[in-house]
């Protein structure tokens, strides 16, 4: 992570409070926030992705929010390029960039400098592979990836069909393993990483309460609005937790209470997978329990770290 330009990363599982800490640091250190949440890049998807509120946006400038429509595909390589461009612009403006989010793949690709294979989407192949997963189960598709690229398969959960399909697509289109193509070329940044965590059961309860609050604030109406705009429930963007389950209620008649319970359970599973990713890619994360967070203490750490760069 050696480099001559500072980059602060704030990561952690969903509902742990990353945005609040990021805004506090941005205000203190003339910083601006770069979104590293793969769902917050979509327009019209605000409540269910827990985008910053109007008040939060007024306190700190945010980048890479609302940059694609729900029927667009933002590839990892595209996100990485946009993140690097934004970081460089902020450095040139004398601002401190803060990369903030819970999508481990986004964060790791940026700070480790993944060289991501540029393979155009093959929609026919994707549809064929997705049909296999739907008819035979996601494990069947994952086992096929494991035969072609064991390393990539070890990094991707079988339930993440979209990523399994993408890895298979690269293998089948190029004849090469995606793990071989994803070499690393670390960017010229000096990185300081903060991780927020909490006792697991308490975090589940917080996530459940946040989902209930989202429903009160109109999450169901947001999903209905997306469907009314013509965005199919089969789109990758609509596979997000909460969106898929509420769309199933609206389109397929799944009882609302069942849809909400399913979304909450999937959120718990997602939190577990986030922790798995962060543990596997921990290159010096400074972990803080959100129950005992001391913003002044963290600010002092940042101050000392910045002085070491000068």
Q: 245, 260 in Cβ contact below 8 A?
A: yes
**So what's the pLDDT on residue 244?**
98
**So what's the pLDDT on residue 99?**
98
For residue 32, give both structure tokens. 């601006």
Going from the C-alpha of 160 to that of each of 12, 86, 105, 163, 181, the distances in angstroms are: 19, 28, 13, 6, 20
DSSP-assigned beta bridge partners for residue 196: 288
* Residues near 292 by beta carbon (within 8 Å), at least 6 away in sequence: none
Strands (DSSP E) contained in the chain are 5-11, 31-35, 62-63, 96-101, 114-115, 183-184, 189-197, 286-289
Question: Cβ of 303: how many Cβ atoms within 10 Å?
Answer: 12
Q: What is the mean pLDDT of residues 161-169?
A: 92
**So what's the pLDDT on residue 119?**
78
**So what's the pLDDT on residue 238?**
97
Using one digit for the tens of pLDDT, what is the confidence trace for 112-157?
Answer: 999 887 777 788 999 999 999 999 999 999 999 999 999 999 989 9
For residue 135, give both structure tokens. 């008819």
Going from the C-alpha of 88 to that of each of 7, 10, 91, 94, the distances in angstroms are: 10, 18, 5, 10
* Burial class (CB within 10 angstroms; exposed 0-12, middle 13-18, buried 19+) of 196: buried
The Cβ-side half-sphere exposure at 291, using a 13 Å CA radius, reads: 6
**So what's the pLDDT on residue 310?**
64
What letter does residue 51 receive in the DSSP assignment?
A: P
189-197 β-sheet, strand order: 62-63, 31-35, 96-101, 5-11, 189-197, 286-289
Using one digit for the tens of pLDDT, what is the confidence trace for 43-60?
Answer: 999 999 999 999 999 999
Using one digit for the tens of pLDDT, what is the confidence trace for 203-232?
Answer: 999 999 999 999 999 999 999 999 999 999
| pLDDT exceeds 60 at position 1 | no
Q: 177, 171 in Cβ contact below 8 A?
A: yes
- Helix, strand, or coil (residue 197): strand
* Residues near 46 by beta carbon (within 8 Å), at least 6 away in sequence: 222
> How far apart are the C-alpha atoms of 22 and 31, rounded to whole Å?
9
* Burial class (CB within 10 angstroms; exposed 0-12, middle 13-18, buried 19+) of 72: middle
Domains (ranges, CATH) in the chain?
A: 5-116+183-309 (3.40.50.300), 123-181 (1.10.20.140)
Q: 164, 156 in Cβ contact below 8 A?
A: yes
Residue 55 CA, distance from chain mean position: 22
The DSSP bridge pattern shows strands 114-115 and 183-184 to be: antiparallel
Confidence grade of residue 288 (pLDDT, cut at 50, 70, 90)? very high
Reported pTM: 0.85
Q: What is the mean pLDDT of residues 250-269?
A: 98
The DSSP bridge pattern shows strands 62-63 and 96-101 to be: unpaired
Q: Over pLDDT 70: what percentage of the chain? A: 98
| pLDDT exceeds 70 at position 2 | no
**So what's the pLDDT on residue 3?**
59
Helix, strand, coil % in the chain, rounded to nearest 5: 55, 15, 30
- How does 126-157 read in b/e, with b if 16+ C-beta sit within 10 Å? beebbebbeeeebeebbebbbebbeebbebbb
What letter does residue 52 receive in the DSSP assignment?
A: P
Q: Name which residue leads in pLDDT, 69 or 116.
A: 69
């Amino acid at each position: 992570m050696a480099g001559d330009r500072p980059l602060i990363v704030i990561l952690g599982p969903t509902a742990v409070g990353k945005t609040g800490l990021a805004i506090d640091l941005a205000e203190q250190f003339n910083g601006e926030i770069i979104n590293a949440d793969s769902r917050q890049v979509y327009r019209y998807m605000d409540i269910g992705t827990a985008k910053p509120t109007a008040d939060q946006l007024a306190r700190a400038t945010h980048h890479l929010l609302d940059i694609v429509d729900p029927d667009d595909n933002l590839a990892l390589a595209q996100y990485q390029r946009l993140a690097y461009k934004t970081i460089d612009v902020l450095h040139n403006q004398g601002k401190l960039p803060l990369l903030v989010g819970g999508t481990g793949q986004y964060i790791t690709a940026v700070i480790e400098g993944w060289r991501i294979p540029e393979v155009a989407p093959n929609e026919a192949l994707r549809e064929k592979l997705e049909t296999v997963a739907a008819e035979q189960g996601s494990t069947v598709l994952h086992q096929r990836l494991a035969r072609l690229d064991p390393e990539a398969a070890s990094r991707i959960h079988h339930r993440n069909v979209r990523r399994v399909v993408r890895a298979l697509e690269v293998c089948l289109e190029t004849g090469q393993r995606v793990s071989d193509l994803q070499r690393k070329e670390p960017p010229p940044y000096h990185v300081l990483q903060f991780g927020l965590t909490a006792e697991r059961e308490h975090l589940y309860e917080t996530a459940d309460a946040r989902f209930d609050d989202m429903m009160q604030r109109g999450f169901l109406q947001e999903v209905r609005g997306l469907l009314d705009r013509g965005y199919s429930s089969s789109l990758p963007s609509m596979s997000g937790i909460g969106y898929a389950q509420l769309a199933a209620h609206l389109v397929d008649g799944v009882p609302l209470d069942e849809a909400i319970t399913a979304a909450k359970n999937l959120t718990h599973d997602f939190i577990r997978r986030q922790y798995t990713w962060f543990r596997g890619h921990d290159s010096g994360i400074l972990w803080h329990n959100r129950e005992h967070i001391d913003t002044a203490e963290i600010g002092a750490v940042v101050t000392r770290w910045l002085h070491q760069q000068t």
